[in-house]
Structure 1
Amino acid sequence: MDHSGASLINLTRYPIHKKGSERDAVLKSARENLDRDGCAVLKGFLTQDGIAALTAEAESVAENGHKSFNRTNAYFTKDDPSLPADDPRRQFFDRSNAFIPADNFRKDGALRSVHDFDGFDAFIQDCLQEEKFYRYADPLADVIVNMASEGNGFPWHFDTNNFTVTLAIQNADAGGAFEYAPGIREGDENFDEVKHVLDGTSDKVTTLELEPGDLQLFRGRYSLHRVAPLRGDRPRYVAIFSYVEEPGMVGSPERTEQLYGRTLPIHWERQAGHRADAFID
């Protein structure tokens, strides 16, 4: 099968490689959605051939996914007994899924053909309007696939990056809806409203049913979000493209070991990048 980006991306609907009014219209829509609630979904970003190729590639390396099972709060921090029992920082939930590390995806494979397509990075940057925008230099994490199956899900959390770029590849048989509370901590931590989301009493939660081939841009550092539990035998595959604020950034050895089950020399040689804000991670 042709793994050129041109056959995998729906360039008729999303001419990301050509300057002009059609690309500008796509940018305008994405920016408006991001401004409104921190989320933009480009429906049908992949062609049917693209969906099939990325699914086949994910399945071919699925056995290399690193599974992790733990309990976490929305901030990925440890319990603090000095806080009240109902503080959101003390609410812990089961987290279980798997990440297929980036070095499983070949340069000439489908996933990297999308990532490396001429104009892809520039288009994402233009949508997000980020001045500081670099590919993550981590060889285990620049582009990965999240794999989840029956009973798995990702509980409520904030991202450690300012934004995430994800591509839906395959859905589970049922479940797996993407739920988020837009901009819930724009400006401050807003613990009271976070607590409402966690206990199911918030009216600020939006639900998205993403379909294979959809590209999602999401400002997850400011919007509390989760993936609802999955049901059925078919695994859910979602690609994650990572961009950061400074060149040369890689993950810390501790975080890399947790997510991917191993580290490389580069994780010990380089310092992980520092965040520009003071929010809890």
Structure 2
Amino acid sequence: MDTPETLIDLDRYPIHQMGGARDDILTRIRADLGRDGCAVLKRFITPEGIEALKTQADGVADKAFRSFNRTNPYFTRDDPTLPASDPRRRFFERSNSFIPADNFPPASPLRAIYEYPAMSAFIQDCLEEENFYPYADPLADVIINAADEGNGFPWHFDTNNFTVTIAIQNADEGGAFEYAPNIRVGDENFAEVEKVLDGTSDKVRTLVLEPGDLQIFRGRYSLHRVAPLRGKTPRYVGILSYVEEPGMVGTPERCQQLYGRTLPIHHERAGQRADAYLD
């Protein structure tokens, strides 16, 4: 049976032991997050763990919801009252697929990592968030993004304040992670978002993650995308979501777009957010 102790390289990253090396890791991660809202822990998952996660992803890949549509960075509808150059009116082809959270039972490796108390405590300490809770969305708390050749994810902001991802398997080519750090801190900053969409921004950075890498990312504030993929090998990325308010779930519109369905809880809790950003 896969356990957090066999899945996570606790020799390299002793997240379960207070003080010492853990504090050194926290210092580095906090500096990276403070600088550009993104931090990477290379080889966080053991080779055995990578294989277990890959096997799990292969086993439920047919459960992925695949969608092909056009979206703006906020996943909102077009507003003809705005100028054509406004980011809210800039729509791009989105072709991607997500394996919803209800395909990962408690005994599965990805959920074992997510529900490991030392893991959530470590992530909270990295982010220095006083309010920190597991995402209550039964379709989205722990998911896998499964992308095939030609797929990609256009520029967008995340629904959650912070997202944790685990690189499981890369495509043969492509799939680089591109992001514009912290351009939506304090306000929507439509002018800078427009520059990113136009390809004229000097704020965009490129990151290539390898299987086993853990990424902590403040995607609610940093515009980001995944470049199109090439080759026959699918790209698998596990996504672990935490939020700043208990009981938070995705909007019905967002869940329908990403997972092809909603549950009663999405409609019951619609509009319960901790901020007023568009998405």
TM interval, shorter chain, is over 0.9
1:139 positional shift: 1.9
1:112 positional shift: 1.5
**Corresponding residue for residue 24 of structure 2:** 25
**Corresponding residue for residue 275 of structure 1:** 273
What SS is found at the alignment partner of 2:59?
Answer: helix
**Corresponding residue for residue 177 of structure 1:** 176
Matched, 1:200 2:199: yes
**Corresponding residue for residue 259 of structure 1:** 258
1:249 positional shift: 2.2
Deviates more, 1:51-60 or 1:239-248: 239-248
Distance 1:143 1:135 in 2: 10
**Corresponding residue for residue 15 of structure 1:** 14
The superposition leaves residues 195-225 of structure 1 with CA deviations (integer Å, 9 ceiling, x where unpaired) of: 1111111111110001111111111111111
The number of aligned residues is 279
Distance change (3 Å), C-alpha of 1:257 and 1:195 = closer
Distance change (3 Å), C-alpha of 1:267 and 1:191 = closer
1:262 positional shift: 2.6
Distance 1:272 1:245 in 2: 16
Distance 2:113 2:211 in 1: 15
What SS is found at the alignment partner of 2:77?
Answer: coil
1:273 positional shift: 5.5
Equivalent AA in structure 1 for residue 234 of structure 2: P
Q: Is the 8 A contact 2:164 2:215 kept in 1?
A: yes
What SS is found at the alignment partner of 1:226?
Answer: strand
* Identical pairs, percent: 70
Equivalent AA in structure 2 for residue 241 of structure 1: L
Deviates more, 1:252-261 or 1:212-221: 252-261
Distance 1:87 1:118 in 2: 43
Residue segments in structure 2 that go unaligned for 5+ positions in a row: none
TM-score norm. by structure 1 comes to 0.95
Q: Is the 8 A contact 2:248 2:272 kept in 1?
A: no
- RMSD across aligned positions (CA): 1.4
Distance change (3 Å), C-alpha of 1:253 and 1:81 = closer
Deviates more, 1:58-67 or 1:80-89: 80-89
**Corresponding residue for residue 131 of structure 1:** 130
**Corresponding residue for residue 166 of structure 2:** 167
1:187 positional shift: 2.3
Deviates more, 1:93-102 or 1:254-263: 254-263
**Corresponding residue for residue 211 of structure 1:** 210
